[in-house]
Structure formats: structure tokens, C-alpha cells
Amino acid sequence: MVKQKEMYDDDKAFEKTFDCEFLSEYLRQAQWAEMVELKKAIFELHFSMGKPISLLDVGIGNARFPKHLSGIREIWDLIGHYDGIDNVQGCVDLSNRVVSEMGLEDKVDVALLDAVNLDALGKKYGMIIFTWFTAGNFYPMDFPFDSYQTDTQERYDLSRNEKFERIFRNSYDMLESGGEIVIGFVYVDNDSTRKKQEDFYTKCGMTVTTDERDTFTATKERFWSQRFTEGRVRDYLGFVPKGSISFTNLDTYNFAMMIRVGKYF
């Protein structure tokens, strides 16, 4: 059986998404704000739970977060253990190399695992994080990457995204009581953000196959980035009690927002 080509199968493509040369000001601003807000969330959760946090990093990428957080002792000490997963072997290899170089093996474990199979970990966590637009990359399994074009008359319906919902339902079930899911940032659905997404992928040498009629941006190379409204997030996370979801803007462009989902019972 021929393996279906997946997002990030192209090593050069995924490396470009980590390269600062390809990050415009709006991306850098949101990335920095994400780090600030995540540190705040870790501190607040540790205070409320009263114990070191067991943390799962879904889509650990290039291990940017453990690398940065380990250098801030007053934050790093609040984390009891740090697990990271990614569905791309190149990212797992890169993260493990960083973990080894930083001497973090006593606290950080990185494994190859697709987010749709989170429950295979069989563990509970105080915090589960999805950073650097990871949540927006959860494209529906039936999306026709090979045939979807800007001249396609019928647009793809994203009133539901079963893959997104499955991943976050599993994540919610894996939280300890009082724990939180932190969705580092997601794209805000507006035309300005759409154009920024398209510019980024084009700069990375990809071919965009979507347009202003879509609520996501996709490329011929099988890259996908969904945009969200607060209403759409609440619809997808309908299993979460009202009042347990909060939103924080991360930049001055109305480009990205952070979402925190608490399990407060």
C-alpha cells in the first residue's frame, strides 16, 4: 500500500516554517505573545493546583518551548514532567536533539504520535498545550488536497471538523481535575489574516489552492491552516461547560488569539 503524503512530509517545507527568515512581523509578534501568555498560564495553573504540573506538548515541533522555558528556573521548576509528541519524524528527531543538547532528558520525553491517537498515551495531565498554530493544522481526513482549486465552485464545509473535535475531546478527557488545555494561538478568521497566510505559504515556495470564499488556507503541498471565530471554537468544543473557555488576543493585527479551556470540576 502506498503511504498517503501528509503535511510536513517534505523536510525542506517543514524546516522553512521554523526559519525566522520566513516569519513576518505579525508572526513574530504573535509568537512572542504566545510565549508570554503560556508562562502566565503555567504560573496560574501551578498556583491553583498546588503542585508541579505534568505537561503534554502536542506538536512539539523544534522543541522551542522546553528550550525556552528551561532557561527560566522560576517557571521550569513549576513543571514536574514535560511530554512532547509530533506526527513528523523530522520534528521528533530535531526535538530530541535539542533535549539532549540542553541536558533535559530527566524531565522531557519526545515521541512520534499523531494527535488523533492521544488516548494511546494512557496518561493524565495538568496542562496540554497546542502551540504555533498546531490546532489550525488539524485538517479533515477527507479534504481533497489533490483536487481542490480556487476555481472549484463548491467550497468545503467546515461547520464541523470531526478531526479537530476528536483531538480536543480526547485532550479534555485526559486532563486532571482543575487542569487546562492551552491552544497557544489560532488564526482569527478575517480577510486580512487570510492574505497573511497566503503570503507566508507563497514565500515558502508553495502553491495556494484556496481563496476568500474559504475559512482556511490550503496548498498543493498539503499544508493547511484553518481560521477561527470565537463562535466556531465554541461550536467545536460543545462538550466543554459554558464559562470554561477564554480567549486572549495576541497581537495588534487581529491576526491570532490564544484559547484556554479549563476542566473545573
User: Alpha-carbon distance 33 to 228, whole Å?
Assistant: 18
Q: Give DSSP secondary structure letters for 72-91.
A: -HHHHTTEEEEEEEES-HHH
pLDDT value of residue 28: 84
Domains and CATH numbers, the chain: 11-262 (3.40.50.150)
CA–CA gap between residue 210 and residue 151 (Å, rounded):
9
pTM for the structure as a whole: 0.91
* Neighbouring C-beta atoms of residue 222, cutoff 10 Å: 19
Residue 20: count of CB within 10 angstroms of its CB: 8
pLDDT string in tens for the chain (265-residue length): 333 445 555 555 555 555 556 677 888 888 899 999 999 999 999 999 999 999 999 999 999 999 999 999 999 999 999 999 999 999 999 999 999 999 999 999 999 999 999 999 999 999 999 998 899 999 999 999 999 988 877 899 999 999 999 999 999 999 999 999 999 989 999 999 999 999 999 988 999 999 999 999 999 999 999 999 999 999 999 999 989 999 999 998 899 999 999 998 7
Query: What are 259's three cell numbers?
Result: 484559547
Residue with cell 508570554: 36
Residue 150 cell numbers, joined: 480556487
